[in-house]
Structure 1
């Protein structure tokens, strides 16, 4: 029986601190009205604390609000005057400080105001959910659980869902469905044990790293060089992460582990190192105070050196010996070399992995139902590419297990606790085609059968998991046209970063032709992010440097032809976007019948950054949209709104912001869970086809702003150039963008067609491309990945 969908019209968040305010922001992102509570201020207005927290959301980076106007959906409140605001709330999330006594006191205060239907949840990061439930009336306990967001709540995929003894299973199912689809989260159900799953394992990994930092006498910057991207973890690695989280917060979490896990065999290590306590005593709490393990010195980043008792320049780089080991592609060989090496950095890394594997296996049965829950909690909550069990399995389960046992016997491990018997029962790992290992039953359990996961055709895959790749209908070197066994075609690019080259252009056009003949609709979708990083700059630069201008112009004409083929296809073409959709990728989605975009889609026409202008139909399409918005009147005001975005190569901070910028249409769909984008895109494409969809008539009467519009925009540019906000070449590029948007050197109010605008795009694009400064920009971007402002 399917769970009843949870419909949230209004929510409340209790606590306007860092986490509470950002949870409220993400609910507002999802178009849910939310009341944000905090203590009454001593001076008027009484709701001043919550009010200030809402105002501060616009200043935070990364931005908690996917689009700034969403802040209007957050109502600041205080407990003295506004408890009645709880009466019509469907969901109440408590997110105050991690003090059991404070939380219990608050629950007693709010309980009389809670409606009978509301789900109530605590965002505690590790306190007992059962103990918290005891402060609520029995009638409310069936609808109470833990719902632990990770920081920052908008961006971190993980939410831990923690039931207590009385929680109604139907409430959990309903809440899980809401969290996955409405808020875009990856839900892991955790047991009510201290720090749950993510922080129990993640914080232990940090503690083990800190312990071995001392054991091997390594610098904090060296450790960060070893425990970041080099091993598939975020750039912030260990000590930078601690600075971002806050050293006082880190110490508090460590103390919570010490206080609540007295019988843990690793308990002796649940304490802050002396140097961490010293930093906290000095008020060096990390990023929020400007200094911690790192601090900024002018433009440089300096790192704490314990021997000097001072900061020194940071030098994040593995040793040559370790770099050679980390370059080995085979995980089994790589781990064998790590363990055998006498190089201190290699020994350090082996010790950190070994103790993490040991701890995670020992506690699996107590903290989670399956190994899958642990790996997803760490991947989604800490940003690791592989969870601890996946890493162990990839490295050769039995061999690594034997090495861990040998180190336990030799007294090298942090604890003498034995590995559980299941670890060495002959298995090759904990994940397989039949599911993931569940220690309580000794069997493998398949993924959740919750109906919400039927929306994830390709969910986040664990190591070794492979899903049906569909049936290939046609492919070339650039794209694959395939189906899932129905009459809806899917086009996926084969290029690196899904860039657009000649093979992609020809492939998309052929796919549209075949779809018109054989299929109901077409979806542009990539099996991994990004959607597309735009045109193949390397190939384009090669043509220019070889002096093949005709071939270069032909490539641009083919790009435009592909966009127009998408727009005027006789079947609906739907773009399924997630991640970056830049340049040509943005232009393809602009020409689609609909775009279905994940919330975390970063969309922009960025060609100005490489000395060019959008010429895959992007400027043409914007000119057409401006004329349509003007409804037969003067389109200049609409052109002006787009102009700065294009000239400054701005990229949206979310799909909602892309809609505000005009790069997505009001009719385009925003999906919060990126793993649901393909499902929604296919349904959207089918619905368009079923509605008798037909492409719009060609735009043959586009009223443009003309030479007067171009002159007005150039006046804006002259002021920017005079103020040294833009360079001479920026002025050149932006002027050509203005000329194209306004229809060229013709009178204001004249009508043109799309071909006229496409020719203008090509003319200016080819002219810019031949300029040395543009070619220098392209080369610089290809070499460094960063724009050059010359």
Structure 2
């Protein structure tokens, strides 16, 4: 059904509407972007002498929104060229064209009357089969559809994209009381499989799931802050990573969202719920109203709870003192609770440490968590069908590491309920009954299956068979072999998956050993190998700590051995007689890229940030990265009369500036991926899709590619590259050491000092890589760069 969404119309070209159209474009769905017709001319239009009736004027709002997409930060587009998949128009002239689309998404102002009027206009041109949805953050779907025809109502629902649509995983799908179940299923599948979303079905209640609980949590946090006299910085220190939540915590989040937007969202619940404690909580506090009236609405206004000012010593972040309404320099809070949380590993242990320290920060954390957990429990069945849906909504929509019920389990369900009741907190009866029945958690692992509380008993979590969990497979004893850095796992149908699990998935001798052992194992007992993992990032590169230690001790034979092992392992992967598929995600840098380059196909998560970045630590790629990129250029341009130099120049700049792709599609533009490599929008399905690719190779009758020779630009081409680097040095863009590195890189990718057009072997290129790498390891400034990267996590320009 997801394939049935081929074309869409997005109505409303504000930042959100244009960004939704961009995400549709990212996954190959072309769209019509419509907005109102302007009523006045711009000065530029007046100068051109055009009238209000000119098509360029009538389409101006949508056309300008599309033109601005590439400049938005963060970019809504995987590739700037994808903006061409969006056609601008206006509601008066082009609304009839919705007859030709599969999905109409309304993204106009959050005003019930405006949305109702637009739906009536849409229905005039609508025909059965076209799905119509409203991107609303909290207005009732049923109220919106009042006055529409009965058949139209069966095709209408809510689709709440979270902002920014490209990056935020959550999509709340809100069926109306008349929405056809097949229409819901169609949009759920399209959202998950095409758009890459995590979908949660929400009830048609004010603010739905994530904004209902998230807004409540922010309001009780603000209340606790005022009641107990905490500062803005203190609250953010407690409610950020220490609690398993994003670094933006509470007040940086409010500044990013916009205080005016937040007040509107809070009022939406306040106006809809009946009296009582809940209504009191959702009334925006006076301090927020005062800040909005002053225009201190957050980042878009230049100030909110925080204000950034520029001084002689650089920028400084000031924070607001709510008692005086004046800004002052931020002061980093310190306490036993905060320090304990900082040193603990993982969200569960951090939260336990924060709550266990028993100081004022610990008490603040408990007060906030207690109220949020109880409120979440009170809304089960009202805003969502299950606790699992609420947890998913908060993880995917607010980037919490743990949903409310996972968190409740982590801090101890029975013990925390006992403490809540002792403090006079009213705990929902179903929670007390569940605990009284002897249950110690909402979630339970049993026979490697995840169970969760649902309607008074444990039920098995629904999960698509197309979502392959390596963690679950390991619990089911599917590990074939492993060591401290990696494991080989049987994922079924004759396919084995090599998983990295070293710190940061950095490549060391243990991972290289497992790659070689995996090739040997798959050769004997399996049909194909995929390389994938479930780490935060796919791979940050080689273990530079080990290399630095050996270089500082001048153990050059050992450095040489390490590089040879890397090169030989990659060549073993490349010339393996069975299919190899790589499935990178997020940060895939340096050696991580070199692991993927030998694969027969790459299935990359759309959000893959991919680059050969060794220059950043004073080195060059030496695990086959330079060789493989030169080979791809040679292979794509086999005729001797084709000049390779322009392609080599581009590659030299890409590697020499340590350029990292902004997406998997951008990696294709940089030449890191082949046109045949695949981009997968939803990371949940990445391993499954890689497995399917492997099986297609097997079913087609796999033949290992023969060894190839590489046509190089040689000494003349190297001179061109070095001349370009010298010009950058003379212009002040690079340092003396950068120039030295550039010379080494030029020597390698040009193929050394051979005549232009010479055909060289892969091993010849690998030898050039290794020689250049070894010589750079001996440079003091390279060792300084390596040390700085390990200490600071960023490149040193020396």
Give TM-score, length-normalised by structure 2.
Answer: 0.93
**Alignment partner of 1:437 out of 446, 453, 456:** 453
* CA-to-aligned-CA distance 1:545-574 (integer Å, 9 cap, x gap): 111101101111111111111111011111
Hey, what does 2:320 align to over in structure 1? Answer: 304
**Helix, strand or coil at the partner of 1:250:** helix
**Alpha-carbon offset, residue 224 of structure 1:** 0.9
**Alpha-carbon offset, residue 446 of structure 1:** 3.0
Hey, what does 2:718 align to over in structure 1? Answer: 710
Q: Structure 1 CA distance, aligned partners of 2:563 and 2:377?
A: 56
**Alpha-carbon offset, residue 315 of structure 1:** 2.7
Q: How does 1:4-153 map to 2 (within 5 A)?
A: 4-42=1-39, 43=41, 44-153=56-165
**Alignment partner of 1:608 out of 612, 615, 622:** 615
Q: Structure 2 CA distance, aligned partners of 1:24 and 1:163?
A: 22
**Alpha-carbon offset, residue 274 of structure 1:** 2.2
**Alpha-carbon offset, residue 444 of structure 1:** 3.4
**Alignment partner of 1:514 out of 512, 521, 527:** 521
8 Å CA contact 2:240, 2:247 repeated in 1: yes
Q: How does 1:260-659 map to 2 (within 5 A)?
A: 260-263=272-275, 265-298=277-310, 299-324=315-340, 327=343, 343-408=359-424, 421-422=432-433, 424-426=435-437, 427-433=439-445, 435-438=451-454, 441-448=455-462, 453-458=464-469, 468-469=475-476, 471-632=478-639, 633-659=642-668
8 Å CA contact 1:574, 1:596 repeated in 2: yes
* CA-to-aligned-CA distance 1:405-455 (integer Å, 9 cap, x gap): 1222xxxx5x898786535433212222463223xx333343336xxx221
8 Å CA contact 1:370, 1:436 repeated in 2: no
Q: Does 1:217 align with 2:229?
A: yes
Hey, what does 2:200 align to over in structure 1? Answer: 188
Q: How does 1:231-242 map to 2 (within 5 A)?
A: 231-242=243-254
8 Å CA contact 1:6, 1:174 repeated in 2: no
Larger displacement relative to structure 2 (714-723 or 322-331): 322-331
8 Å CA contact 2:37, 2:91 repeated in 1: yes
Aligned-pair Cα RMSD in Å:
2.1
* CA-to-aligned-CA distance 1:10-53 (integer Å, 9 cap, x gap): 10111111211111110000011011111112335211111111
Hey, what does 1:244 align to over in structure 2? Answer: 256
Hey, what does 2:46 align to over in structure 1? Answer: none
**Alpha-carbon offset, residue 257 of structure 1:** 1.3
Q: Structure 2 CA distance, aligned partners of 1:378 and 1:728?
A: 50
Q: Structure 2 CA distance, aligned partners of 1:476 and 1:147?
A: 45
8 Å CA contact 1:490, 1:525 repeated in 2: yes
Q: Structure 2 CA distance, aligned partners of 1:324 and 1:457?
A: 35
1:618/1:133 Cα in 2 relative to 1: closer, same or farther (>3 Å)? same
1:318/1:204 Cα in 2 relative to 1: closer, same or farther (>3 Å)? farther
**Alpha-carbon offset, residue 514 of structure 1:** 2.2
8 Å CA contact 2:421, 2:427 repeated in 1: no
Q: Structure 2 CA distance, aligned partners of 1:103 and 1:56?
A: 25
Hey, what does 1:746 align to over in structure 2? Answer: 754
1:12/1:318 Cα in 2 relative to 1: closer, same or farther (>3 Å)? farther
**Alpha-carbon offset, residue 260 of structure 1:** 1.1
Hey, what does 2:166 align to over in structure 1? Answer: 154
8 Å CA contact 2:530, 2:691 repeated in 1: yes
Q: Structure 1 CA distance, aligned partners of 2:501 and 2:428?
A: 48
8 Å CA contact 1:331, 1:394 repeated in 2: no
Hey, what does 1:775 align to over in structure 2? Answer: 783
**Alpha-carbon offset, residue 467 of structure 1:** 7.3
**Helix, strand or coil at the partner of 1:367:** coil
**Helix, strand or coil at the partner of 2:182:** helix
**Alpha-carbon offset, residue 329 of structure 1:** 6.9
Larger displacement relative to structure 2 (332-341 or 615-624): 332-341
* Unmatched tracts of structure 1, length 5 or more: none
8 Å CA contact 1:629, 1:635 repeated in 2: no
Q: How does 1:725-740 map to 2 (within 5 A)?
A: 725-740=733-748
1:66/1:5 Cα in 2 relative to 1: closer, same or farther (>3 Å)? closer
Q: Structure 2 CA distance, aligned partners of 1:593 and 1:430?
A: 43
Moved over 4 A (4+): 325-342, 415-421, 465-470
8 Å CA contact 2:563, 2:622 repeated in 1: yes
Q: Structure 2 CA distance, aligned partners of 1:333 and 1:551?
A: 39
8 Å CA contact 1:780, 1:788 repeated in 2: yes
**Helix, strand or coil at the partner of 1:365:** coil
Q: Structure 1 CA distance, aligned partners of 2:652 and 2:258?
A: 41
**Alpha-carbon offset, residue 616 of structure 1:** 0.4
8 Å CA contact 1:629, 1:638 repeated in 2: no
Q: Structure 2 CA distance, aligned partners of 1:207 and 1:239?
A: 11
**Alpha-carbon offset, residue 656 of structure 1:** 0.8
1:135/1:598 Cα in 2 relative to 1: closer, same or farther (>3 Å)? farther
**Alpha-carbon offset, residue 482 of structure 1:** 2.3
**Helix, strand or coil at the partner of 2:636:** helix
8 Å CA contact 1:362, 1:420 repeated in 2: no
Equivalenced residues, count: 772
**Helix, strand or coil at the partner of 1:35:** strand
Q: Structure 2 CA distance, aligned partners of 1:707 and 1:370?
A: 67
Q: Structure 1 CA distance, aligned partners of 2:515 and 2:328?
A: 53
1:690/1:215 Cα in 2 relative to 1: closer, same or farther (>3 Å)? same
1:495/1:667 Cα in 2 relative to 1: closer, same or farther (>3 Å)? same
8 Å CA contact 1:17, 1:53 repeated in 2: yes
Q: How does 1:667-746 map to 2 (within 5 A)?
A: 667-700=676-709, 702-746=710-754
8 Å CA contact 2:2, 2:193 repeated in 1: no
1:583/1:335 Cα in 2 relative to 1: closer, same or farther (>3 Å)? closer
**Alpha-carbon offset, residue 8 of structure 1:** 1.2
Hey, what does 2:774 align to over in structure 1? Answer: 766
Hey, what does 2:796 align to over in structure 1? Answer: 788
**Alpha-carbon offset, residue 497 of structure 1:** 1.4
1:350/1:574 Cα in 2 relative to 1: closer, same or farther (>3 Å)? same
8 Å CA contact 2:501, 2:535 repeated in 1: no
**Helix, strand or coil at the partner of 1:82:** helix
Larger displacement relative to structure 2 (295-304 or 316-325): 316-325
Q: Structure 1 CA distance, aligned partners of 2:155 and 2:11?
A: 17
8 Å CA contact 1:107, 1:135 repeated in 2: no
Larger displacement relative to structure 2 (755-764 or 325-334): 325-334
Q: Structure 2 CA distance, aligned partners of 1:660 and 1:165?
A: 46
**Alpha-carbon offset, residue 6 of structure 1:** 4.9
8 Å CA contact 2:473, 2:491 repeated in 1: no
* Unmatched tracts of structure 2, length 5 or more: 42-55
**Helix, strand or coil at the partner of 2:319:** strand
